[in-house]
Amino acid sequence: MGLNIGGKIEKINGKELSYEQFVERYLKKNQPILLTGLMDGWKACDDWVNENGEPNLHFFSAHFGDSKVQEYPTYVPYTTPTFFLDDWLNLYLDSHHMHSDPNLHNEKAEINCSDYRFVYMGAKGTWTPLHADVFRSYSWSANVCGKKQWHFLSPSQWHLLFDRNMKSSVYDIFDDVSETQFPGFKKAIWLECTQEQNEIIFVPSGWYHQVHNQEDTISINHNWFNAYNLSWVWNLLLKDYKEAKEYIDDIRDICDDFEGLCQRNLAANTGMNFFDFFIFITLFSFANLTQLHHLCKGHENPILVSSGKVRHLITNLISIRKVALNMKSFEAFTVENLSSFLVENCSPLSDIRKFLEESKFIELCVALNRTYGMIDDQRKQSSEVKDTSTSICTKDCLLLNYLKPDFGYLDFSEACGSKVSGPKDLIRIIDYTFAKLSGMGNDWSTDLLTELNQHEMSVL
């Protein structure tokens, strides 16, 4: 049965696209795009490819053949293009674990290899079955060599891929898909794309896709999410949670801790549960709030003031606030459930002061500051505004100087006490900060907040 192809993915030169354009056209609208011109100078493009354009397997065996772990801090084969830098998932996983099983005690001794950055190698003819990405994240995939054929289906049509019970989806779109089992499949309208060497494809959230290697291919790939697709992650968790709950509903009455069991199953199936996600958004909010605080105090330190950065941080907090609003009614977040989870897992949220002092939290703040500094630099370059601020490294040092142990604690504790006990506290802290920011009376922050808040939320 032939596929119904509705069109091709647009291809554009990434060097001619500004960061804002990428956000407006592709991140916010959740649309795929093929980008050229973004892999100049990548070591991978020299080291991993033979002169005839095929994979240089000799290089891999000579340099990494004896590897037991994936740690090569001094070998940097690629640099993430600026468009994809605002990656909360991997920024967080560089310093924290997403899910910690309290029954496993040896975790500290293990090397943390759990990020979402991959290298795919596939011989001609190999393929990846139909799927939508983990956590409903975005992904980007850069072809270092070879050629891939992609088929995409927009999220508005995902139901056409499922069986009558909406349980399992088609595995191979080129198979002889049974019309009885998958009655909608024939109606699906696909987008296709041939990705050549040195081209990067942006895969939006929730788009099902199937990928075929038309030549021996090596690609570099990240899964990521940020303010623009955070709600996709929460919606997937919610859907998977409801399924996990339904699945064991018949043992609810004989279960001591039914909610706990649902959450354990959710983590096993989806890679994180409600608590992991809540801890993640809370720590991420605190890292954003900490920076916002620095930047706004920046009147004494004008070198740190940058309204592009502030806009970015506020956008992040508004998106987290929206998700937290959706979370707050769930059983998992009743004070009892959350408290017992926090204690059981020695969660950082049970003692704000302690976690603000933790080196891994400071690492997250520094990484975030560096990232938004780089994005801001690109923004300034593309709008041809001369950047007179200090280099990113200097900004890191300045930020570090400001991260005194009790920094921000008083502000946070004023809003919620010494611990975060659920989504309501998180909302309260964000609102409190926004209210303070508006009250600072400087023109740019007031204008920015008014503009951002107009359609997004009501301020306190």
Ligand X SMILES: O=C(O)CCC(=O)C(=O)O
Among 203, 230, 272, 295, binds ligand X (CB under 6 A): 203
Count the Cβ atoms, other than its own, within 10 Å of residue 429.
Answer: 25
Residue number of the CB closest to ligand X reads: 128
State whether residue 6 is helix, strand or coil. strand
Give, in order, the Cα–Cα distances in Å from 129 to each of 43, 79, 209.
30, 28, 8
* Residues 145-164 close enough to bind ligand X by CB under 6 A: 148
How long, in residues, is the chain?
A: 460
Measured from the CB atom, is 11 or 436 closer to ligand X? 11
Find residue 209's DSSP bridge partners: 131, 152
306 is a contact residue toward ligand X (CB under 6 A):
no
120 is a contact residue toward ligand X (CB under 6 A):
yes
Among 18, 194, 221, 390, binds ligand X (CB under 6 A): 221
**Consecutive H or E run containing 396:** helix 392-402
For residue 26, what is the DSSP state?
I
Measured from the CB atom, is 149 or 438 closer to ligand X? 149
* Residues 363-382 close enough to bind ligand X by CB under 6 A: none
339 is a contact residue toward ligand X (CB under 6 A):
no
User: Interacting stretch for ligand X, rule CB under 6 A, among 35-43, 120-128, 371-379, 438-446?
Assistant: 120-128
**Pairwise CA distance, residues 18 & 380, whole Å:** 10
Among 95, 205, 219, 371, binds ligand X (CB under 6 A): 219
**Residues 326, 332 contacting (CB under 8 angstroms):** no
211 is a contact residue toward ligand X (CB under 6 A):
yes
**Pairwise CA distance, residues 210 & 23, whole Å:** 25
Measured from the CB atom, is 120 or 258 closer to ligand X? 120
Count the Cβ atoms, other than its own, within 10 Å of residue 130.
Answer: 19
Give how many residues touch ligand X by CB under 6 A. Answer: 12
Measured from the CB atom, is 148 or 293 closer to ligand X? 148
**Amino acid letter for position 330:** F
Among 56, 95, 141, 369, binds ligand X (CB under 6 A): 141
Measured from the CB atom, is 133 or 376 closer to ligand X? 133
**Consecutive H or E run containing 244:** helix 230-247
User: Interacting stretch for ligand X, rule CB under 6 A, among 52-60, 133-141, 308-316, 388-396?
Assistant: 133-141
Give, in order, the Cα–Cα distances in Å from 383 to each of 118, 263, 294, 376.
33, 47, 25, 10
Q: Which residues bind ligand X (CB under 6 A)?
A: 120, 122, 128, 133, 139, 141, 148, 203, 209, 211, 219, 221
